[in-house]
């Protein structure tokens, strides 16, 4: 049995699907983790993502799906899923705004974001929560999940699991979470995702805000793994030009050092893991 129960809707400009339990005004316990998943016209991948969450996550929580005006049957399917908290956009506004709608709706102690073409492996969310709750983690603001990166570029650390490689990345020497777990209180404090980004860039930006604005660490949990297809369909191809602009905005905002203009972060990061007994 997983830890996800029927969830409630909240008033907003976007329409939400509300499960029958809301009509009774029954009290709801605060979930431990909110998992936020935007989607648009990827019904089969979304179904796999949600099924895997249900199978692989036992921590009590809620799943928040933000649908960007899908026309492929996604909405009809979502209406049959009473355990999901669903936000229906009247038009697709981009992944970053969609994530923020989920972040602002989240009630969990922790928030974990995920793409619709990805899913956490069994026990990964629990491993991330266990790690961030350790007494020696007071200086850590975000746990990064290792994921299939399909590239050797910008890799900070790597683990192998069942014949697959999972990577933790960095942006010009700073660890960042493509998929991360963060305390909701900290996410609210740093102002959620920066909506100057449209499709990409918000995740390294969040990681940089945690490190440079809040003075906290972003640490990868080597037992928290996400399978990520990085599925390149026509929709994703159409997003790429805006994504390149998002990348430009990231580097302009943070005045990051040029490529190869900073010390190799890999030995520094691994030394920190060894010193703290995490490796």
pLDDT at 21: 30
Closest CA to 87 of 108, 70, 110: 70
Contacts of 195 (CB under 8 A, 6+ apart): 96, 97, 100
pLDDT at 271: 95
pLDDT at 46: 98
Higher-confidence residue of 116 and 247: namely 116
Q: Is the pLDDT at 18 greater than 50, yes or no?
A: no
Higher-confidence residue of 84 and 3: namely 84
The Cα 231–Cα 24 span in angstroms is 40
Q: Is the pLDDT at 126 greater than 80, yes or no?
A: yes
The Cα 208–Cα 214 span in angstroms is 9
**Residue 147 backbone dihedrals phi, psi, to 5 degrees:** -150, 165
Q: Is the pLDDT at 143 greater than 90, yes or no?
A: yes
pLDDT at 246: 84
Share of the chain above pLDDT 90, in %: 76
pLDDT at 27: 47
Summarize the confidence of residues 150-169 as an average pLDDT.
94
Q: Note the pTM of the prediction, 2 decimals.
A: 0.89
- Our CA dihedral for 69, 72, 74, 77, rounded to 10 degrees, sits at 140
Summarize the confidence of residues 261-277 as an average pLDDT.
94
CA atoms lying within 13 Å on the CB side of residue 276 = 19
pLDDT at 236: 62
pLDDT at 231: 56
> Can you list the domains of the chain with their CATH numbers?
15-275 (3.90.550.10)
CA atoms lying within 13 Å on the CB side of residue 47 = 12
Summarize the confidence of residues 177-200 as an average pLDDT.
95
Pinpoint the alpha helices (H) of the chain.
43-56, 74-78, 95-105, 124-132, 184-189, 202-208, 234-254, 265-275
């Amino acid at each position: 049995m997983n830890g996800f129960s029927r969830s409630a809707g909240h008033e907003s400009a976007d329409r939400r699907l509300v499960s029958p339990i809301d009509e009774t005004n029954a009290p709801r316990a605060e979930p431990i983790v909110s998992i936020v998943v935007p989607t648009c016209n990827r019904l089969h991948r979304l179904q796999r993502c949600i099924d895997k969450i249900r199978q692989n996550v036992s921590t009590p929580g809620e799943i928040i799906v933000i649908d960007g005006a899908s026309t492929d049957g996604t909405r009809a399917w979502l209406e049959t899923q009473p355990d999901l908290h669903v936000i229906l956009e009247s038009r697709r506004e981009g992944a970053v705004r969609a994530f923020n709608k989920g972040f602002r709706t989240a009630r969990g102690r922790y928030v974990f974001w995920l793409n619709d073409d990805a899913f956490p492996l069994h026990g990964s969310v629990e491993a991330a929560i266990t790690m961030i709750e350790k007494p020696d983690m007071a200086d850590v603001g975000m746990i990064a999940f290792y994921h299939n990166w399909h590239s050797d570029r910008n890799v900070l650390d790597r683990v192998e699991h069942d014949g697959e490689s999972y990577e933790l990345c960095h942006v010009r020497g700073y660890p960042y979470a493509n998929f991360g777990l963060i305390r909701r209180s900290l996410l609210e404090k740093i102002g959620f995702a920066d909506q100057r980004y449209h499709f990409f860039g918000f995740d390294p930006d969040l990681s940089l805000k945690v490190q440079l604005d809040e003075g906290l660490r972003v640490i990868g949990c080597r037992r928290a793994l996400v399978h990520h297809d990085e599925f390149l369909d026509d929709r994703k191809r159409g997003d790429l030009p805006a994504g390149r602009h998002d990348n430009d905005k990231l580097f302009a905002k943070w005045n990051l050092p040029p490529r190869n203009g900073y010390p190799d972060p890999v030995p520094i990061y691994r030394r920190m893991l060894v010193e703290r007994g995490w490796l």
